[in-house]
Structure 1
Amino acid sequence: MDNVNNNSAIQDMYWKKEETAKAGSADQKLEQEDFFKLLTEQLNMQDPSKPVDNDQMIAQMTSFSMAEGISNLSTQFTQFAESMTSNQALQASTLVGRDVLVPTSKAYVDGSGPANGAIATGQSAQNVKITVKNEVGEVVDSFSLGDVTAGMTEFSWDGLDASGNPVPAGKYQFTASGQIGGTNEEMPLQMNARVQSVSMGNGQGIVLNLKGLGGVGLSDVTEIS
């Protein structure tokens, strides 16, 4: 009877330990404390005639330390990236109400001032002409810039049509063309736009919401006025 009772007690201890282990391993993640417990059990259960090699023990400890270090480094990088994003958002918020130069050929005109932009070209061009169209594609005005050199050439449109009348508020399309190497070509434009608000998230980083033009990435801004 004593043997039966002892076996039952041993079984109870075994099942309780197993249940405790299962209950405590909900996240299925080994921490440093768990590793040292396993290492201690390994030493206790080793064959006396074939003890664990010291090199193997050191290798196991080194591997765990490296894995833990990489995990901590990843966490720190994540926190650093979040901090950088917050700082960028704070800096971008100071742009609200200011004009920025962005790579686009459109500008929003509402009579509050001229539409300013710049031609970006890698080489000089002759007889450069700016054409302005409204949202339905009608030409409302055009003007000449003459010859331009390589680099950035600024220009400004007063918001008046070819007859000298103020144009209605809205979005206008600009086109720059000129002679480059004897061939008439269109040149890339950049236009000034007013920043109304700043957004962040949705995997797009910092987005500047421009008046009448929509959103543009902070990294796309080439100049702040």
Structure 2
Amino acid sequence: MSIDTTSYYDSLVQSSAPDPVTITTDTEASSLTSDDFITLLLAELQYQDPTEPVDNSQMVDQMTQYSQLEQMTEMNEKMDALTESLGAMTASNGLDYLGKQVEADGSTISVSGDSISSLYFELPEDAASVTCNVYDSNGTIVDTETYSELDAGISAFTWDGTDYNDDTASNGIYYVVVSAQDSNGADIDVSTTTTGTVIGISNTDDGIILSLDDGRTVNMLDVTYATS
């Protein structure tokens, strides 16, 4: 009787081989952690084929990858801490505006009964015509005011609070779009600003938002002037 030594050796290896290494991770994890990486590396060393050990160059590559993973993890942690620190610092700076009158880039006006806030627009040059379109919160145009022959500089737009039908506008926040043309009919860039007293602050995804006493809000980054 003859025995196939190759088949016999293979059966011994298969029967004595350890169970494969499994790594359990949180179902919410989307990538390997540094601990997972080390576990895989140690498993590779433990269960490598003695007749074909891991090549030195492969080992160096894997250790380099691990080092890079560690560095990226530490960098992400430091960036998160820095972001939180900057956010807290910015929110603290916003407290300085409480109770102050501020001027900020914006195009909103507030209507509350007979009280209607003013909007200011600045012309870099003389304008032959200026048009101010008033929109409600739904984006519907409710009124239009026009001016002619305005000098360069800052002018105030004060709305009387009535629409095209001379009906009184409802209370709320409205948006004003200002456009201007020179004597040749060419468009002129117009910037608009709003003013109000800050009564509250909030930290949002868009930054620090200042709440004004008439219900409007402005981004702290848009503030151009504040009373001392």
Q: What TM-score, normalized by structure 1, do the two folds share? A: 0.58
Aligned-pair distance for 1:60?
Answer: 0.9
Deviates more, 1:183-192 or 1:78-87: 183-192
Cα offsets for 1:9-66 (capped at 9, x unmatched): xxxxx99xx9xx98x9464776545544543443343333322111101111111221
Which residue among 93, 96, 99 is the counterpart of 2:95? 93
Which residue among 208, 212, 215 is the counterpart of 1:213? 215
Aligned-pair distance for 1:180?
Answer: 1.7
Which residue among 104, 123, 126 is the counterpart of 1:124? 126
**Which residue of structure 2 lines up, in the alignment, with residue 102 of structure 1?**
105
Secondary structure, counterpart of 1:90 in structure 2: helix
**Which residue of structure 2 lines up, in the alignment, with residue 45 of structure 1?**
47
Cα distance in 2, alignment partners of residues 46 and 178 from structure 1: 77
> Superposition pairs for residues 10-29 of structure 1, below 5 Å?
25=24, 27=26
Aligned-pair distance for 1:209?
Answer: 0.5
Cα distance in 2, alignment partners of residues 175 and 42 from structure 1: 67
Secondary structure, counterpart of 1:209 in structure 2: strand
Secondary structure, counterpart of 1:67 in structure 2: helix
Tell me if structure 2 keeps the 8 A contact 1:108–1:211: no
* Closer/same/farther in 2, CA of residues 90 and 145 from structure 1, 3 Å limit: farther
Cα distance in 1, alignment partners of residues 219 and 108 from structure 2: 16
AA paired with 1:87? M
- What's the C-alpha RMSD, in Å, of the aligned pairs? 4.5
Tell me if structure 1 keeps the 8 A contact 2:211–2:217: yes
* Closer/same/farther in 2, CA of residues 119 and 145 from structure 1, 3 Å limit: farther
Cα distance in 2, alignment partners of residues 37 and 31 from structure 1: 10
Aligned-pair distance for 1:183?
Answer: 4.3
Secondary structure, counterpart of 1:94 in structure 2: helix
**Which residue of structure 2 lines up, in the alignment, with residue 4 of structure 1?**
none
> Superposition pairs for residues 52-91 of structure 1, below 5 Å?
52-91=54-93
Stretches of structure 1 that go unaligned for 5 or more consecutive residues are 1-13, 131-136, 160-169
**Which residue of structure 1 lines up, in the alignment, with residue 166 of structure 2?**
none
Q: What TM-score, normalized by structure 2, do the two folds share? A: 0.57
Aligned-pair distance for 1:206?
Answer: 1.2
Cα distance in 1, alignment partners of residues 34 and 172 from structure 2: 62
Which residue among 200, 205, 219 is the counterpart of 1:197? 200
Stretches of structure 2 that go unaligned for 5 or more consecutive residues are 1-17, 133-141, 161-170
* Closer/same/farther in 2, CA of residues 190 and 44 from structure 1, 3 Å limit: closer
Cα distance in 1, alignment partners of residues 213 and 203 from structure 2: 17
**Which residue of structure 2 lines up, in the alignment, with residue 3 of structure 1?**
none
AA paired with 1:100? E
Tell me if structure 2 keeps the 8 A contact 1:102–1:223: no
